[in-house]
A and B are shown apart, each in its own frame.
Chain A
Amino acid sequence: MKKYIFKRVMISIATLLVIIFVLFLLMDLMPGTPFNDEKLTEAQIALLYQKYGLDKPLVVRFLLYLKNMLTGDLGVSYAINKNFAISDMIKGRLGISLAVGAMAMIFGTIMGLVLGILAALNHNTWIDNLCSIISVIGVSVPSYVCALLLCYYVAYKLKLLPILYNQTMPFKSLILPSLALSVSPTANIARFTRSEMIDVLNSDYILLVQSKGVKNYKMIIKHALRNTLIPIITVMGPLLVNLLTGSSVIERIFGIPGIGLLMISGIQQNDYNVTIACSFIYSVMYIVVMLFVDILYGVIDPRIRVSKEG
């Protein structure tokens, strides 16, 4: 198992390197300059290119970037916060985005599991239908509409929580954004839990467990849930990463200084370094989550471990 994990980690690092290179290539293809074209002359733009080393060939820039990255230097911003070190820009923002994403994931997983299990245990009854309708509404109403509704009723009308993100009470002011963001994972997880659970409950080993007289709730937790979790973990991984970057709209609505918004501005304003750095963080998270999921498979389902090691 150790050898397998080591190998997986090394491969993940190689994958990351490829991703950075592809990002570099893509940035190179992006038309336009990060500088204000309206008021600069061509000679000035050439000077700026020289100043930031953008006139060097792609491979040279790539290697330089890698070298700097190892020392924690992600370059400076060209357009968003001119001449700011990107590592500083990201430092403050990453924590907040992670917090929102993680809170949303916790809300989503709990609510999703509860809805899914309830629906599966009451298969083909009104409870099942109600749970289905809730989860369908969850996926068909965009998160920003949910966000605004929550804002309007919970924060503005009832005054239970702050409307906008507030540095002095971060936890309290992040509840609404996380709730708004958790709507879609809730729905996704509920749907998967339900269908997996129905499969599992219909399987022979559950019948065996039942006939052995194991109590219902114990059976659900110990036997059914464990087998249901495998595919759910598969969807949870990518869902988490999507949350972290897909949160840009939520960040905008609640005025949260997060990384999602930064990436969007980076793309729109051609701020290469910001785009690459944000995408890179996204990729790291994605690869780590995937790695985690793969290893977790082995822990949860012994059969996969055996076949992988063999």
Chain B
Amino acid sequence: MKKLFALIMVLLLLVGCSGGNGGGTEGGGGSSEPADATKTVTVQAPTPIISMDHHIATDGTSFIAQTMCISGLMELDANGNPVEDMAESYTMSDDGLTYTFKIRGDANWSNGDPVTANDFVFAWNRLVDPDTASDYSWILETACVESYKAVDDKTFEVKLSAPTGFFLQLTAFPSFFPMNEKFVTEKGDQYSLTTGDLLFNGPYVMTSWTSGYSFEFELNPNYWNAAKYADTYAQKVVFREITDTQTALMEYESGNLDNVTLSGEQVDANKDVAGFINKLTGYMYYLSINMGNNVHNREGADYLANANVRQAMLYAIDRDEIARVLNDGSVAANGIIPIGLASNPSSGKDFRDDAGAVVAYDPDKAKEFYEAAKAELGHDITFELLYGTDEGDSIIKAAEQVQFYLEQAGFTVNLNGKPKKERLSLAGTDNDHDYDVMLTRWGPDYGDPQTYMDLFVSTNKSNNDGGYNSPEYDALVADAESGAGATDKDVRWKNFLDAEVQLVKTDAAVVPVFQAGGAMIISPAVTGIEFHSAAVDSYRHIQVNR
């Protein structure tokens, strides 16, 4: 009995210690006064931060955390329009090729250093430096940035090779954020690893970060707009990492959380709760069809080069029903470009409204195409559908639904579930595209159709897994991006509309399935969590009213 007692004591000690250690590293120069509990917001973070280095991070949570405490030239308002942040003002030359940003005199880093044009030059250089190995190193090129320089300490000039409409919006994206050269060089490998190894110029400073548990932000007294923040916005924002949807909901209902993401199963019981919203994300889920990269001589992929096979797949799927079954705010995909990504430069209409539905559900037509394909190939058609098993329950459900519909049309479909890394690896270049059909997704990097259109041009070896090779499509996209479309926005827009029809309707190279949604409850006491389908969601304008 004595031994048991001793064991329990040791255990208590252990728990005590680990609790103490887990407190996180304090630092970052936050406000010294304790935050007012009524002005504190606790939100759910469904995934952990992967990196606080904004050149290394690639995931939503990391980007959200970075936009909390680091500011770029511009920031996004509630509607996703760029407004000045580090920049006091900017001018654009008449040809739209030269941007000159005037940086605020009172923009400072949390160690007191002023934010200068050189911080941007340094950061952008680091972004494209191969040694940084940033996943986003290509984004400067995509934005057609030709050169950039510091005219003086507070003037930053960017030259573009083409008038990129989404450039200003991109300056609010973490990849374009500044870095303090002295600090980053001094920290070296240690930069961004703990809160003490970070420097902030945003409205908040990161005060604690325990991976797997939580990360916290408090108001930054050195922010240029600190006075307004102190009056209006939340003093402290705590992100609590909670993966399990059921305990998260209980925690929300107990009043310990201010928002909670719901699974499809939970929506029916909660859709009448105050604060329930269905937000639409920019993630487009589609079937990537291996039609031209069948190096492995896969039996299934053999048939996919047949146009009738692909057309049958295009018509076989009832997208509205799938969205209804998912029940998590997802909507049927009417094309490869998601709703809310970009709007017509002249009329302001959303791309989807302009383009209408380029896909349709027609089971009879699907069967006709299937029979035609069967007659051409001389046998029934069997293939494998690859999907991700660790990408959320909706994906598994969607894969089962797609299988069901394709089998209704006559196909025999075998499901092949793999973790995401493995799925991408199989379909990617390092395995020479070892797949038939894959349920995959793409999230936009910026608010322009180009972010999707570039994926399927024949020269894009890293993303065009299916080996789609259409001269018509390539010509349309090339013309839009560097030909006539480069100077005429309406031509560009028209070309993208045509390219989508060519890609989806004419060639059925990809089969759009659904645009992912996110059902959520936000506490009525909290406002100002802003969702952007084509950019990073913003938690930097939260207001509390308790």
Measured CB to CB, the residues of A under 8 A from B are 31-42, 44-45, 47-48, 51, 79-85, 89, 91-93, 95-96, 98-99, 102-103, 106, 148, 151-152, 155-156, 159, 163-165, 167-168, 170-171, 174, 252-258, 261-262, 268-270
How far apart are B388's CB and chain A's nearest CB, in angstroms? Answer: 10
Q: Output the least CB separation between B34 and chain A (Å).
A: 14
Interface flag for B482 (CB, 8 Å): no
Instruction: Check A82–B51 contact: CB distance below 8 A.
Output: yes
Within the complex, what minimum Cβ distance (angstroms) separates A103 from chain B?
6
Q: Are B246 and A148 in contact (CB under 8 A)?
A: yes
With both chains docked as a complex, state the minimum distance between the C-beta of B243 and any C-beta of chain A, in angstroms: 5
Complex contact B421–A96 (CB within 8 A): no
**30 A-B pairs in the complex with CB atoms less than 8 angstroms apart:** A32-B430, A36-B58, A37-B430, A39-B58, A39-B138, A40-B135, A44-B135, A45-B430, A82-B51, A82-B53, A82-B57, A83-B189, A91-B21, A98-B14, A99-B11, A102-B14, A148-B247, A163-B256, A164-B251, A167-B210, A167-B214, A170-B16, A171-B12, A252-B244, A256-B212, A257-B22, A257-B210, A257-B212, A257-B241, A268-B421
Query: In the bound complex, what is the Cα–Cα distance between A32 and B423 (angstroms)?
Result: 9
Q: Which residues of A contact B428 (CB under 8 A)?
A: 37
Residue among B19, B58, B212, B251 facing the most chain A CB atoms (10 A cut-off): B212
* Minimum CB–CB distance for B328 against chain A, Å: 19
Contacts of A165 in B (CB 8 A): 213
- Are A95 and B137 touching (Cβ within 8 A)? no
In the complex, which of the residues B138, B193, B242 contacts A83, with contact meaning CB atoms closer than 8 Å?
B193
Identify which of B212, B213, B244, B390 contacts A268 (C-beta below 8 A).
B390
* A249 closest partner in B (C-beta): B244
Task: A98 to B10: give the CA distance in the assembly, Å.
Answer: 11
The answer, among A48, A82, A85, A163, for a CB contact under 8 Å with B254, is A163
Which residues of B sit under 8 angstroms from A96, Cβ to Cβ? 15, 18, 22
Q: B48 near A106 (CB under 8 angstroms)?
A: no
CB pair B210–A99 under 8 Å, yes or no, is no
For residue A254, which residues in chain B have a CB less than 8 angstroms away from its CB?
244, 247
5 closest Cβ contacts across the A-B interface?
A257-B212, A95-B18, A32-B425, A170-B19, A82-B51
CB-based contact A253/B462 at 8 Å: no
> Contacts A80-B50, A106-B11; is A151 near B250 (CB within 8 Å)?
yes
Known: A31-B422, A163-B250, A255-B242. A81 touches B51 (CB 8 A): yes
Residue B8 at the A interface, CB < 8 A? yes
Instruction: Give A224 to B249 CA distance when docked, in angstroms.
Output: 49
Name the A residues within 8 Å of B21 (CB-CB).
Answer: 91-92, 95
Contact bitstring B5-49, A, C-beta under 8 A = 1, else 0 = 001100110111111011100000000000000000000000011
Contact: B247 with A151, CB < 8 Å? yes
Closest chain B residue, CB of each to CB of A93 = B212
